[in-house]
Chain A
Amino acid sequence: MTDTKELVKNLADKYGRARESLIPILQGVVQEERYISSEAMTEIARELDMSAAKVYGTATFYSFLDTQPRGKYVIRVCKTISCSMKGKNLIIQELEDLLKIKVGETTPNRKFSLLETNCLGWCHKGPAMLINDEAYTELTPEKVREIINDYMKK
């Protein structure tokens, strides 16, 4: 059994095989593998005995259920108005320079992915970003450098 197969099976054991378990299982795959591969979706369809197209349709609906390979650390910078007003573009610029990738891309070592996202709910402390589940707020280019340096060491 491949790792992905085993992961999906374990998640299905944990959450059950009813339709309601689909999103928790998809989330579980993302937590583990950072994205949901075609193999993972096929396995989920098998475990839950549902159409693969429906698994795909559900996964692609949700921005956090990535269906493309992502790095170990997924950076999501809020692009909604308050953060945008507080200098989101500078933050993106800094991240692009540091990671040498553009928004939407993943570093060749598969460590970081850089994405933009809609309102993160930190409008009073913009600009804000998530790195995986962790929120970082009141960002400045300096602060971003420190944060990314820490992650690079991880």
Chain B
Amino acid sequence: MSSNFLRRVDLIFDKDCDFKQVLQSAYKRNNDEIINELLESGLKGRGGAGFPTALKWKFTSEQPESEKYVVCNADEGEPGTFKDREILFQVPLKVFGGMAICAKVIGAKEGFLYLRGEYRFLLNELQRQLDIFHAILDDLKIAFRVKVVMGSGAYICGEESALFESMEGDRGEPRNKPPYPTVSGFRKKPTVINNVETLVYAFMIFRYGAHKFKELGTADSRGSKVFSISGDTPKPGIYELELGMTVDQFVQEFGDGDTKAVQVGGASGFCVPRKKFKDTIIGFEGVPTGGSMMLFNSSRSMYNVLHNYLEFFEEESCGQCTPCRVGCQQLKLGIEAVKRGDKHANYLDQLQKLAQTMKITAKCGLGQSVANSFFSIVENFKEEMIY
């Protein structure tokens, strides 16, 4: 990449990696060392929420139960995100490797990869790769097995406790928290659940050491990240970039010269308008993202964008809690009514307050995050909502 600002990194898709050797050397280290190395790296979950990975592993390892699980969350459903598909397609062994190291730390004998139904076409190859992986484990005398579990078309199953419900054969409805998965996850046993990308980074940290990762990014957002770039861009696709860039830097590289807004983090993320490009850092100090970056140029109606998101949420809410189930319907109908002129423009203020309530009262992260795109689009593109 020729940018002056963006550093392209190649940790994730790097195929120059002796898989067996990395695994073997990781297994020779004691658990405290592994956790410390991970802690040192500053790796945070790559699914979007950004919980420190080392702590998840540590907390789970400290649970006294003998039955524990490691689960790879490959239910990539956030609109605008498609990097996990590519990772699973290109470097599945690294994903499994990350799970195996985690399994050692927490003491799990079984791991599961929950693959979204939309990616079923990956299944045969994944199974083949699993056979290879299991053969290597046998070689190394590691007692660990990974099984692929298929999803069936439900965005909410990307929420970790909903994912467990789904794995247990139920409706994917998020659970009350606490307890958190580190205490009570799959089959109500202590469970580490990590995003696909997180597991690969964890694996690569044991390939290169924490320093290699820590050198990249900023204090709050260490390392690099795989971005899924789509929308009005001349070069849509998947890019691994160092964290810490501003939206402006990003737009200079990927925009089409007419970018008016970037949606960072998908439908549940934040919309950054042109006037805020320069001041907004992509990362936990600014706008966090699971990797989805959608660019919109001035030909796009932000009303349509928001409407599309709300339609998505209205359908994909699990429906159990009031703020999310009814709130999503109200937000969608509400902006329609304002647009038609059936409701006065100040009804948008009412809806903003509703979104605020959803943000603080919904049962899970999905319901809470509907407010993100709603606020940031309505606030920054109010005229487009009304006229």
Measured CB to CB, the residues of A under 8 A from B are: 18-24, 26-27, 57-58, 61-65, 79-82, 84-85, 117-126, 130, 133-135
Contact = CB atoms under 8 A, between A and B. Distances in A.
A61 B153 CA distance: 9
A124 B228 contact: yes
Contact of B232 (A85, A130, A133): A85
Contacts of B255: none
Interface string B77-114: 11111101100000000000000000000000000000
Size bin of chain B's contact surface: 35 or more
23 contacts: A19-B170, A21-B169, A23-B152, A26-B152, A27-B150, A61-B172, A62-B117, A63-B153, A80-B267, A81-B294, A81-B308, A82-B79, A82-B80, A82-B230, A82-B294, A84-B304, A118-B79, A118-B312, A121-B84, A123-B230, A123-B236, A124-B238, A125-B236
Interface string B278-304: 000000000000001010000010001
A118 B77 contact: yes
Contacts of A81: 79-80, 231, 267, 294, 305, 308-309
A82 B154 CA distance: 19
Listed residue (B153, B169, B171) with the most chain A CB atoms within 10 angstroms of its CB: B169
Given A20-B167, A85-B232, A123-B228, A62 B153 contact: yes
Nearest to A84: B308
B120 A133 contact: yes
A18 B300 CA distance: 50
A23 B230 contact: no
User: Main SS of chain B's interface residues?
Assistant: mixed
Contacts of A62: 117, 151-154, 172
A126 B230 contact: yes
Interface of B: 76-82, 84-85, 116-121, 149-155, 166-172, 228-232, 236-238, 267, 292, 294, 300, 304-305, 308-309, 312, 315-316, 318
A121 B305 contact: no
B80 A123 contact: yes
Contacts, number: 118
A81 B154 CA distance: 17
Contacts of A121: 76-77, 81-82, 84-85, 116, 118-119
A10 B10 CA distance: 46
Contacts of A23: 150, 152, 166, 169
A64 B294 contact: no
A71 B154 CA distance: 21
Contact of B153 (A20, A22, A117, A126): A117
Q: Which of B120, B152, B172, B304 neighbours the largest number of chain A CB atoms within 10 Å of its CB?
A: B152
A120 B170 contact: no
B229 to A, nearest CB: 7
Nearest to B81: A121
Contacts of A65: 152-153
Contacts of B237: 124
B209 to A, nearest CB: 32
A85 B232 CA distance: 9
Nearest 8 interchain pairs by C-beta:
A63-B153, A124-B236, A62-B152, A64-B153, A123-B230, A22-B169, A121-B82, A61-B171
